[in-house]
Amino acid sequence: MPIEDSELEIDYAALRAQLDEAQALLEGTQAISPQRRREVLNSRARVLAASRHEVRQEVITVLAFLVGGERYAVGIEHVDHVLEARGLCSLPGAPRHVLGALVSRSRVVPVLDLRQLLGLEGGGMSDLGKVVVVEVGEEAFGLAAELVDGRRELPRSELSQPPPGPFLFLTPDRLTVLDLEQLGNPAAARPG
């Protein structure tokens, strides 16, 4: 229903007075009244008080990566750094899940193949271009990855129980957070 001009009554005098008051305040030629100051401060206090009651979601920060066509992540607090997989030296006689070793910040770290540990399909060594170096207690080791997806914050309320294995959580979009302590024990990590 359209509004007719006769229904709209604008108090131009009051509007002009408000504009003049605002202009005077901006120019500093008029001080704000104590009553108006109280109104503004009370309004700001109500807004600030309301913001304190907002529910803040608890999140887990992880580093996500891709291995064997699947998406995995580790807690960011365990990540030391990410390296290129170049310079990986083989270790004769090592178990199949140990790809080799790399020098990382003047220490030698073994690099694990999650495809072998978790029974995933995967190509050869050329598919694994990155190594995520993690620390668990005093131990450090690398996890070979095809691609590092980056840092993500996962709301704890959206995480569900993962399938059996070296896993902590599963997200709705099928990102699996790894349990690094179990990964350090290959017998516990093997599925089924």
- Predicted local distance difference test score (pLDDT) of residue 145: 93
For the record, the structure tokens of 162 come out as 């993962």
- Predicted local distance difference test score (pLDDT) of residue 153: 94
- Predicted local distance difference test score (pLDDT) of residue 30: 67
- Place 6 in a pLDDT band, splitting at 50, 70 and 90: low
Q: Are 89 and 99 in contact (CB under 8 A)?
A: no
pTM, 2 dp: 0.66
pLDDT at 15 over 50: yes
Spatial neighbors of 39 by CB under 8 A, at least 6 apart, are none
29 is in which domain, residue-wise?
12-52
- Predicted local distance difference test score (pLDDT) of residue 192: 42
Closest CA to 63 of 53, 76, 52, 51: 76
Give the span between the Cα atoms of 127 and 147, in whole angstroms.
Answer: 9
When divided into structural domains, the chain yields a total of 2
pLDDT at 190 over 50: no
147 and 77 within one domain = yes
182 and 88 within one domain = yes
Mean pLDDT of 157-164: 90
pLDDT one-digit tens code per residue, 76-99: 999 999 999 888 888 899 898 899
pLDDT one-digit tens code per residue, 16-74: 888 888 887 788 776 777 887 888 888 888 888 777 666 667 899 999 999 988 999 99
- Predicted local distance difference test score (pLDDT) of residue 123: 64
The CATH number assigned to the domain holding 143 equals 2.40.50.180
Q: Which of 22, 37, 52 is the last residue of a domain?
A: 52
